[in-house]
Amino acid sequence: MDVESILTLAATRGYTLEGVTVESPLADVVAAFLAAQATANPESTTPETVYTTEQLNAMTVEEILTIAEERGYTLEGITNESPLADVVSAFLAAQTAATNN
């Protein structure tokens, strides 16, 4: 992942990365991301983000697959090499199914 992708992922997760910008060295961004992740409260009562097509289209396939894995979604037939449109469609279907349960 590059710096911009990590910052995007952090934003989608609601993490605040202290002292880093898109110009920061990758190692600093990764360290800030891991620190924010470590302090995030997994027991939070804040509901999960419900992603829109537009939000997902702004992400990489890898980012979407990471979120899907964290949420326990199964994206049938989807791999890292799948077209973004297919990944977005599968993610939205899984998100809808999870929301309706």
User: How many structural domains is the chain composed of?
Assistant: 2
Q: Is 48 among the domain residues?
A: no
With beta carbons less than 8 A apart as the criterion, state whether 65 and 38 touch.
Answer: no
Report pTM. Answer: 0.56
- Residues 94 and 65 placed together within one structural domain of the fold: yes
pLDDT confidence of residue 38: 76
Task: Answer whether residue 34 is part of any domain.
Answer: yes
Domain that holds residue 73: 53-99
Domain membership of residue 47 (yes or no) is no
Cβ pair 87, 69 in contact under 8 A: no
- 36-93 pLDDT, tens per residue? 887 775 554 445 789 999 999 999 999 999 999 988 999 999 999 999 999 999 999 9
CB atoms under 10 Å from CB of 50, counted, come to 11
Give the confidence band of 34 by pLDDT, cuts at 50, 70, 90.
confident
